Structures are given as structure tokens and as C-alpha cells.
């Protein structure tokens, strides 16, 4: 088996690296790696994302008919990897919304949403979790009642979502609702693509551990804010329904699976190994004795090997997606391995660096503005969001190993 990239792909990698070198000045880098800027928000980040979109780099694998390049998922992976490694910039493929529209949308929906998403005129947040259900998503209570007929046919949405990351900046919410009031569990659910400026939607911040003090530039997965979102008699046209009414479970799971894989998803965890290795090689006087310590070298080599496994798992998922096949257990396996690797890495870094590594941004004597301490705080939550590792293990046991459902 040959894992190497083609000559054209390597040439593209060089082109992306030289774009990064040209455009990511220190000022821009500091801006991009803070808060939501790595997703294109902020005065310095927005023009860079426009240039990335002009080159088509955020939609290499999406069909030409909807503004993409019609290229391969592996090429998209390569470009995503370069941008995330350089500045935690998330481009292409990521997010539940657009891949799910491509997978389950009508022709009109694909024509409307995909080109706009490429140019960042549409940004989705994901409205799945509710106060009483996250892991157990089949317990969704947020209601959408169908009213009216013909042109005026619409849903009225009432309920609450929680942990809705990016709701404060998104243009649309990818919303899981119960359309059949008599239904139970996985049946009777639907997905609605709801514009966030629809009357009746209220967004309230839900601050995370990363909020105060904020994580420094380069903190991976350090969202300082997520949200609660309330829906009070929100009127949504029926044309916002994605997939069939009542088929929301399948549509949402397909979207989640596509969102669990990708270069930036694995690098969230693996970038931490790269950071500590780079620091050990730096001219910080504290690094010199550590880098020649046998136990430290042993540990970072072990972590590096684990990181390569994350990368290979991601590439396997990319090729499955590229062949147009559905994941069975592979996305779940990646969702267990990469976040748990991130936890192991941050713990190991704590042991290598000692108490300095536990000082947050703003504390005197911290290392790299508290980077490692903030990463330690954020490592654990990545084992919960987007499907917890316990639930992922259950999927692997059932779909990968063919074991029966566990007894309650």
C-alpha cells in the first residue's frame, strides 16, 4: 500500500505553504489563532478567507455544480492539514451543515446553500443537544408543528437547545426537532435549516472553562463560549426541511459522521504533540535539560507514534468518503482515538514540564502564555462533544465487532 501523495498534490501543498508564508504575518497569525478568527471572523481573518475561497481551497472535494472543485477528499485533507497546522485555521469540509445538505438536500437546497457556504455567506451551527439530552439524542423534545397549506405551509418551532457552539456568529441553525408529537425516540424527528435572524430565536452565552482567563493563540479546541438557544413560536417555511419529514435521525447521524472526521479534527489533538516537540527543540533554557532526558524522549516518541495512528485513521475515513461509502464504525473509532490521545498528550506534557505547565494565561512563570494548561482544560471536553467516547465505543462494539446491543 502506498500512502504517499501524488506529484500534483505535493505541488499543491507547496503552493498552500507559500500562500501561508506570504499572508500569515505575525500580526495576522496572532489574530487568526484567537477566538473565532480561525473560522474567518475578524478584520484580518475575513480577507484571508475570501482569498482562500477564491482559490477554491475550502471546497476542493465538493461538486463543481455547486461551486466546488470536484476534486478528491484526500486533496482537500492535505490543504486542510496545512492551514490548521499553521494557524488553527479551519477550512473545507468541516461542520455538519453543508456536507449534510450535499448528502440529503434537494437540488434547490444544494444550489442555494453550498455556494453561499463556500463564500461564508452561510455559516451553520448545530442544534442537536437539549438540556435533558445530549448523548441520548433520541430524547429530543424541541417541537415543530406543521401549519398552513400550499404557499403558506410552515412549521412553528418551540423548545430549547444547549451547547450550540457558534450560534452567536452563525447565519443558520441545523436544527433537530420532533415533528411527530406522537412519536418516540428515533422516529418522528426532522432536520430544519433555520435562519438565525428568524423572529422568536434568542441566543444566550454559555461560557466554558476557557473563558476567564482566555486561552492564548494556538490553544486547540479552546472554545471560550458556547450557547443556549431558545425557540418561541419560530415560524419556518417548509422549504427549510432537509430530507424527508420524520427521517431526521438518519439525516442527522449522516451529518454527524461526516463532521467527526477531517484533518482539523485529528490535528486538534495531535497539534499538541507537535507543540511540545517544537518547544523541546526551542532555545528556552528550561527545554535543554529536558530534551536530552531519556524518559522525556521516550514519552514524546510514543506520543508521536500515536499521533501517526490518528492521521492514518483520518485518511482511511477520507478514502471511505471519497468512494461514496458510508461509515460503519470508522468515524467512531477515530472519535475515540484522537480525543483520548489529546488527553494522554496533555497529561504527559504536564508530567514533563511540571508545575509551570499548569499555570494559565496571565500567571507569572507560565509557559507559552499558559498554552499547555489551557489545552489540558479543553482536552477532556473533546472526549464528550460530538458523541462521547463511551457511546462511540458502543458503536464500534456493535457495528465494527458485531456484538449485540448492551443490556440496560
Ligand X SMILES: Cc1cc2nc3c(=O)[nH]c(=O)nc-3n(C[C@H](O)[C@H](O)[C@H](O)COP(=O)(O)OP(=O)(O)OC[C@H]3O[C@@H](n4cnc5c(N)ncnc54)[C@H](O)[C@@H]3O)c2cc1C
Q: How many C-beta atoms surround the C-beta of residue 240 within 10 A?
A: 18
For ligand X, the closer of residues 125 and 263 by Cβ is 125
Between residues 28 and 175, which has the closer beta carbon with respect to ligand X? 175
Measured from the CB of residue 19, what is the shortest distance to ligand X in angstroms?
A: 29
Pick between residue 29 and residue 142 the one whose CB is nearest to ligand X. 142
CA distances from 83 to 24, 35, 201, 328, 344 (A): 10, 16, 34, 29, 24
Least Å from the CB of residue 156 to ligand X: 21
Cβ closest to ligand X, residue 82 vs residue 130: 130
Taking the complex as a whole, the smallest distance from the CB of residue 27 to ligand X amounts, in Å, to: 28
Residue 196 or residue 352: which is nearer to ligand X going by CB? 196
**Spatial distance between the Cα atoms of 6 and 297, rounded to a whole number of angstroms:** 33
CB of 381 to ligand X, least distance (A): 4
Q: What does the alpha-carbon distance between residue 238 and residue 109 come to, in Å, rounded to a whole number? A: 12
Provide the binding-site residues for ligand X, judged by CB under 6 A.
125-129, 134-136, 163-165, 208, 223, 226, 381, 384-386, 388, 390-391
**Least Å distance between CB 287 and ligand X?**
31
Q: Confirm if 231 and 142 have CB atoms less than 8 A apart.
A: yes
Give min distance, CB of 280 to ligand X, in A. 29
* CB-nearest residue to ligand X: 134
Q: Which is nearer to ligand X, 178 or 386 (CB)?
A: 386
Nearer to ligand X, 158 or 385 (CB): 385
CA distances from 205 to 211, 225, 374 (A): 11, 7, 20
Amino acid at each position: 500500500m502506498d500512502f504517499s501523495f501524488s506529484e500534483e498534490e505535493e505541488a499543491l501543498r507547496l503552493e498552500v505553504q507559500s500562500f501561508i508564508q506570504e499572508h500569515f504575518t505575525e500580526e495576522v497569525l496572532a489574530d487568526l489563532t484567537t477566538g473565532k478568527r480561525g473560522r474567518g471572523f475578524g478584520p484580518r481573518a475575513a480577507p484571508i478567507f475570501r482569498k482562500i475561497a477564491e482559490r477554491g481551497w475550502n471546497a476542493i472535494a465538493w461538486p463543481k455544480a455547486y461551486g466546488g472543485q470536484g476534486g478528491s477528499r484526500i486533496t482537500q485533507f492535505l490543504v486542510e492539514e496545512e492551514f490548521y497546522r499553521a494557524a488553527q485555521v479551519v477550512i473545507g469540509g468541516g461542520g455538519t451543515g453543508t456536507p449534510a445538505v450535499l448528502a440529503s438536500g434537494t437540488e434547490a437546497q444544494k444550489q442555494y446553500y453550498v455556494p453561499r457556504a463556500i463564500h461564508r455567506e452561510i455559516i451553520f451551527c448545530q442544534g442537536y443537544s437539549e438540556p435533558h439530552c445530549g448523548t441520548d439524542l433520541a430524547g429530543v423534545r424541541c417541537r415543530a408543528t406543521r401549519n398552513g397549506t400550499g404557499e403558506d405551509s410552515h412549521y412553528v418551532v418551540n423548545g430549547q437547545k444547549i451547547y450550540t457552539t457558534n450560534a452567536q456568529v452563525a447565519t443558520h441553525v441545523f436544527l433537530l426537532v420532533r415533528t411527530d408529537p406522537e412519536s418516540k425516540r428515533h422516529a418522528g424527528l426532522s432536520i430544519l435549516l433555520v435562519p438565525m435572524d428568524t423572529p422568536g430565536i434568542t441566543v444566550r452565552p454559555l461560557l466554558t472553562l476557557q473563558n476567564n482567563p482566555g486561552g492564548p493563540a494556538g490553544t486547540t479546541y479552546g472554545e471560550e463560549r458556547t450557547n443556549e438557544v431558545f425557540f418561541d413560536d419560530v415560524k419556518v417555511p417548509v422549504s427549510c426541511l432537509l430530507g424527508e419529514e420524520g427521517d431526521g435521525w438518519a439525516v442527522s447521524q449522516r451529518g454527524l459522521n461526516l463532521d467527526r472526521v477531517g484533518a482539523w479534527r485529528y490535528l486538534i489533538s495531535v497539534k499538541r504533540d507537535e507543540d511540545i516537540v517544537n518547544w523541546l527543540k526551542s532555545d528556552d533554557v528550561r527545554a535543554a535539560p529536558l530534551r536530552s532526558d531519556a524518559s522525556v524522549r521516550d514519552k514524546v516518541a510514543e506520543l508521536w507514534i500515536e499521533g501517526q495512528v490518528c492521521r492514518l485513521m483520518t485518511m482511511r475515513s477520507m478514502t471511505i468518503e471519497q468512494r461514496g461509502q458510508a461509515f460503519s464504525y470508522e468515524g467512531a473509532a477515530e472519535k475515540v482515538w484522537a480525543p483520548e490521545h489529546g488527553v494522554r498528550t496533555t497529561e504527559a506534557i504536564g508530567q514533563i514540564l511540571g508545575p509551570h505547565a499548569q499555570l494559565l494565561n496571565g500567571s507569572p512563570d507560565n509557559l507559552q502564555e499558559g498554552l499547555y494548561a489551557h489545552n489540558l482544560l479543553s482536552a477532556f471536553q473533546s472526549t464528550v462533544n460530538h458523541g462521547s467516547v463511551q457511546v462511540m465505543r458502543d458503536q464500534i462494539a456493535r457495528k465494527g465487532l458485531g456484538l449485540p446491543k448492551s443490556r440496560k
